[in-house]
Amino acid sequence: MSHHIIEATDLHYSYPDGTVGIKEISFRITHGESVAIVGANGAGKSTLLQHLNGYLIPSRGQLRIGDYPLTKKNVKAVRRTVGMVFQDPDDQLFMPSVFDDVAFGPLNLGLPPDEVETCVTQALETVGVPHLKHRPPYKLSGGEKRAVAIASVLSMSPNILVMDEPSSELDPRARRRLIRLLKSFEHTKVIATHDLDMAVDVCERTIVLSEGRVTADGPTLELLQDEALLEKSGLEKPLQMQNCPICGDRKEKPDGNSNIIRAPRRGLQSG
Amino acid sequence: MAAIDRHFFDIGYMDTLSSQQTPVHQLDPRAKLLTTLVFIVMVVSFGKYEISALIPFFIYPVFLCAIGNVPPAYLLKKLVLVSPFAIMLGIFNPWLDREIMIRLAGIEISGGWVSFASILIRFALTVGAALTLIAVTGFNAVCMALEKMGAPKVFVVQLLFLHRYMFVLVDEAARIFRARALRSFGGEGTGFKSYGSLVGQLLLRTMDRAQRIYLAMSCRGFEGEIHVMQPLRFGSREIVFIFGWLAVFILMRFYNLPVLIGSVITELTR
């Protein structure tokens, strides 16, 4: 099964105005892997993601998605393989009702109406919102919108799921629900995120980007504990790997600076 | 600012209306589109001073509203919103055309006023019918019907995007105006000076967003074809609908019903 893989070799992209988006990016993501792409703002995450759905074509190097190298000619086949969930669900949901929206992809693929009906219902059930079927999308809450946006991609049964910041703008419970949902998918997943805790929960592998390059690629748990690497890439340790500033033990660094935030504790004591 | 927000939800309401399941909603979109097109042609084909013969034509939009469960107050509000265009078209007629045409209980009415009234009635009829058509069919379905009936695809896709981006534009505008309102105090900063950059911002942001939406659509296999779940079926109901209304329109076009009824009544009471 080679159609679930993503392979980048020496990927370069510069924007028309000369700004370098990404450079010398190489990685191989195999079937069923779940990979987090992390990096500070402007590290090149979005540029990289836009290559994965064929919106941008690399200026140098090659990207293979599934069975095809990415070129202008087979963009359609690539988009059929990759399901892309956008950062802002409002960009993705535009039909008058949730049902129409989730049916948009399957209808474009040319499925007969009764099959469309089944796969829409299935997709909505997978993300746990079959009751929203007839609601207009612009009246949903943030979490519901995100669920529907994911369903609208699932209904096309893609082999690879690519998500841009799926946990942004979600309340804690909706975020937890999303994490459970993502863990239940067997697709190859590529998730660009600032939510490093979600990366720890969902992705066994992490690729760290900094200034357009890959600075590290390896097991999530290992990379996200490497403080030197995180510092260099403009990131911070996931909260669940930090000691709790309020109730946990405070570890003092040898130089006397605490590696945790002290302000709340002082605030509590003086109050 | 609040007004923009409100209108935004108002436009969305049109989609809610179009997703109802009434006998009119269930008709094939092509049948409704064709009938409405014929209706519009009939209405605009009258002479410039015609008023009385136009009145019976209101039966068509009223019928669609009644059966299609469309609240008339909502449509009237929308009509008033776009009425300035029609008013601008005819506002100078009373000055340009001062020949007296009608004497009503001692009041003399010039041809200009008559033609102005005629323009307004035609506007109410045609725009009202078009709005009702969308409310009982849905914009996507109307576009699909246009394409199936032979309208060029480029044109249909333009229409579809126009409708789609209207929401985007209003949404962005609402945000920008809200941001400005929150940082301007006592009318400071709301003047024309800030308008230039505001409108520029709006254009750039909307273009960006429009591009993202287009990308999201192509990611889901959009290639310029519009697909609607409702199967197209041209059955006997559609044929009855089209030919029934066609007969009514022709009757109303070639016989001035109000005059006819009036003369019958005067005949009877004599």
pLDDT per residue as tens, chain A (271 positions) = 456 889 999 999 998 888 888 999 999 999 889 999 999 888 889 899 989 988 888 988 999 988 788 888 888 888 888 899 998 888 888 777 889 889 988 988 888 888 999 999 999 998 888 999 888 887 788 889 999 999 999 898 888 999 999 988 888 888 898 899 899 888 899 999 999 999 999 999 999 999 999 999 999 999 988 889 998 888 888 888 887 777 765 554 445 444 544 444 444 444 3
Domain with CATH 3.40.50.300 in chain A: 6-237
Q: What are the residues of chain A with a beta carbon less than 8 Å away from any beta carbon of chain B?
A: 53, 55, 76, 79-80, 82-84, 86, 88, 90-92, 94-97, 99-100, 103-105, 107-109, 113, 116-117, 134, 136, 138-139, 152-153, 156
The dotted CATH code for A6-237 is 3.40.50.300
Taking 90 as the threshold, does the pLDDT of residue B123 lie above it?
Answer: yes
Looking at CA atoms only, how far is residue B21 from chain A in angstroms?
12
Residues B20-58: pLDDT tens digits?
888 888 889 999 999 999 999 999 998 888 888 899 999
Set of chain B residues whose Cβ sits within 8 Å of the Cβ of A138: 12, 167
Q: Per the CB < 8 Å rule, is A134 touching B19?
A: yes
Taking 70 as the threshold, does the pLDDT of residue B93 lie above it?
Answer: yes
Candidates A47, A51, A90, partner chain B, best to mutate (most B CBs within 10 A)? A90
Cβ-count burial of A144 within 10 angstroms (0-12 exposed, 13-18 middle, 19+ buried)? buried
Give the span between the Cα atoms of B193 and B150, in whole angstroms. 47
Helices (H), A109-247: 113-126, 142-154, 172-184, 196-202, 220-223, 227-232
Whether residue B231 lies within 8 A of chain A, CB to CB, comes out as yes
Set of chain A residues whose Cβ sits within 8 Å of the Cβ of B167: 94, 138
Percent of chain B whose predicted confidence (pLDDT) is above 70: 92
Task: Say if CB A57 and CB A71 are below 8 A apart.
Answer: yes
pLDDT band at B229 (very low <50, low <70, confident <90, very high): low
Q: Per the CB < 8 Å rule, is B209 touching A96?
A: no
Contacts of B158 (CB under 8 A, 6+ apart): none
Average pLDDT, chain B: 84
Helices (H), chain A: 45-52, 75-81, 89-92, 98-108, 113-126, 142-154, 172-184, 196-202, 220-223, 227-232, 263-270
Domain ranges across chain B: 20-137+230-259, 151-228
- Reference B230, options B153, B162, B137, B160; nearest CA is B137
Looking at CA atoms only, how far is residue B88 from chain A in angstroms?
34
Q: Per the CB < 8 Å rule, is A108 touching B231?
A: no
